[in-house]
Amino acid sequence: MTVAALPAVAGSPATAGAVPDIGTLADRLPAGTLLTEPASMERYSHDEAEWAPWALPLAVARPTDADQVRTIVRWCVLHGVPVVPRGAGTGLSGGANAVTGGVVVSFERMTAVLRIDPVERLAVVQPGVVNDDLRAACAEHGLWYPPDPASSPWSTIGGNVATNAGGVCCVKYGVTGDYVLALEVVTGTGELVRVGRETAKGVAGYDLVSLLVGSEGTLGLVTEVTVRLRPARPPEHTVVGFFDSVVAAGEAVAALARAGQVPSALELLDRHCLTAVNDWKNLGIEADCEAILLARVDGPGAAGVAEADAVLACFESAGASWAARSEDEAEADAMFAARRLAYPALERLGPVLTEDVCVPVGRVPEMLARVQAIGERHDVLIANIAHAGDGNLHPLIITPPGDEAARRRAQSAFDEIIAEALLCGGTVTGEHGVGLLKRDGLAAELSPAVVEMHRAIRRALDPHGVLNPGKVVT
């Protein structure tokens, strides 16, 4: 990934001419909060989105509390400086990429789990808390935080809120936004506000929490998150199915939906993913097939066994070359570990351009077939992983390092996959966000009137145009 030119942002030093003295911000913050050396700022300047443009910022701020975030935003408003919020940098759409003359606000030092309330079943956390760390803290109280993106060992709750992240469990239990009760936010005018509530019910006023979740830092900087929790689950049963093609695996997904089966996880991996993971980690997963479906069910006792058997029957009736309910917990965990390792394993083969389209579940087979045809038409390698149970597909376009012709073909394939997803009644992003990579796709998905509604909301909450400029809608 290399520095690329970004368009100038209205009101920023790139267009206003004079670069403000960053020392006047440093004077208002504790020592060590700001980084200004290029070598120390580079890793904060972009996320994991391949080929999304980025630039070195004016500074990187690492606040420890909401008051410091407010101070940073107010200084940026005063000087017309862009503000780019950043979680762990695991994003795949360029949503955290820095702009010239801006300040990146990294929440890496705001990592406190402030409160877990077993009675109200909620947790209050700072945005830099890692997803798996929150889940572990909740488990000590017999509680569970369901959203679990594949990046859960590294991604943060603030970043998950920014993109409304989903994950393996979302097919049954929903995405991040389904669990956010309240937010503390620094607005585009530098005000520190709270929206939402801790009560189980409440409909007073507009639902500003839902507006902010998924806004990718364009409407405010989240400094605290209150999430609802669920009781701990019973042990899960795992069902594995091997299929002779990704389309056949997609047919099994549609068959499960028609049968009314809602597993707690339903994941797809193709042969390219399995080979890459095995070559890297030597997990010993041998599958003589083109695609694997991994399902988990979490019904209690005999009900769970019956549910697993029903999923198994769907796999078999849909044409699985082999299917079984796993009796070996270690083997089942290895399968799901392969799912989480698929992306980094494929990155070892070359730059990976990651898709994130979502289509109606009944059209998953059709969309997988279209993706396969697009790869053949553009002569690019496309590996497939998917949260198949809710139609969220992640075609991964892999190019040889340094091959510019392959890169151009990959970009064409990326754009075509978005167009085909829309033709299937889908959306351009299920959980990774729009960021920089999907802006054209968003414009194609939404009508001009709805795009203008987005812009009007953004102007209202960020009147100075400093919050994550150039992302989502412009």
> Element (H or E) spanning 294, and its range?
strand 291-297
Give the residue from 423, 446, 466 where a domain finishes: 423
Strand partners, 394: 385
Both 153 and 280 in one domain: the answer is: no
Spell out the residues 6+ positions from residue 203 whose beta carbon is closer than 8 angstroms to its own.
none
Both 201 and 252 in one domain: the answer is: no
Q: What is the pLDDT of residue 15?
A: 42
Q: Residue 362, Cα to own-chain centre: how many angstroms?
A: 23
Per-residue pLDDT of the chain (474 residues; tens, 9 = 90+): 443 444 444 444 444 457 899 999 999 999 999 999 999 999 999 999 999 999 999 999 999 999 999 999 999 999 999 999 999 999 999 999 999 999 999 999 999 999 999 999 999 999 999 999 999 999 999 999 999 998 999 999 999 999 999 999 999 999 999 999 999 999 999 999 999 999 999 999 999 999 999 999 999 999 999 999 999 998 899 999 999 999 999 999 999 999 999 999 999 999 999 999 988 988 777 778 999 999 999 988 899 999 999 999 999 999 999 999 987 777 788 888 888 899 999 999 999 999 999 999 999 999 999 999 999 999 999 999 999 999 999 999 999 999 999 999 999 999 999 999 999 999 999 999 999 999 999 999 999 999 999 999 999 999 999 999 999 998
Name the one residue in this structure whose structure tokens are 């520095």: 3
Both 263 and 203 in one domain: the answer is: no
User: What CATH number does the domain containing 215 carry?
Assistant: 3.30.465.10
Cα–Cα dist 241/249, whole Å: 8
Give the residue from 205, 231, 257 where a domain finishes: 231
Cα–Cα dist 224/195, whole Å: 11
**Number of domains making up the chain:** 2
Side-chain-side CA neighbours of residue 390 (13 Å): 20
Both 219 and 271 in one domain: the answer is: no
Both 266 and 398 in one domain: the answer is: yes
* Pair of tokens at residue 363: 């059209």
Both 218 and 287 in one domain: the answer is: no
Instruction: Burial-class residue 416 by CB neighbours within 10 Å (0-12, 13-18, 19+).
Output: middle
Give the residue from 404, 423, 442 where a domain finishes: 423
* Pair of tokens at residue 31: 């020592």
Q: What is the pLDDT of residue 332?
A: 80
450 domain residue, yes or no: no
Neighbour count for residue 329 (Cβ, 10 Å)? 12
Supply the range of the domain harboring residue 393. Answer: 237-423
Both 304 and 337 in one domain: the answer is: yes
Q: What is the pLDDT of residue 331?
A: 77
Both 263 and 391 in one domain: the answer is: yes
161 domain residue, yes or no: yes
Q: What is the pLDDT of residue 17?
A: 55
Collapsed DSSP state (helix, strand, coil) of residue 144: strand
455 domain residue, yes or no: no
474 domain residue, yes or no: no
Prediction pTM value: 0.93
Both 243 and 360 in one domain: the answer is: yes
Collapsed DSSP state (helix, strand, coil) of residue 437: coil
Please choose, from the candidates 187, 186, 188, 207, the residue with its C-alpha nearest in 3D space to the C-alpha of residue 196: 207
User: What CATH number does the domain containing 387 carry?
Assistant: 3.40.462.10
Q: What is the pLDDT of residue 9?
A: 47
Q: What is the pLDDT of residue 297?
A: 95
Both 271 and 417 in one domain: the answer is: yes
Both 227 and 162 in one domain: the answer is: yes
* Pair of tokens at residue 29: 């913050």
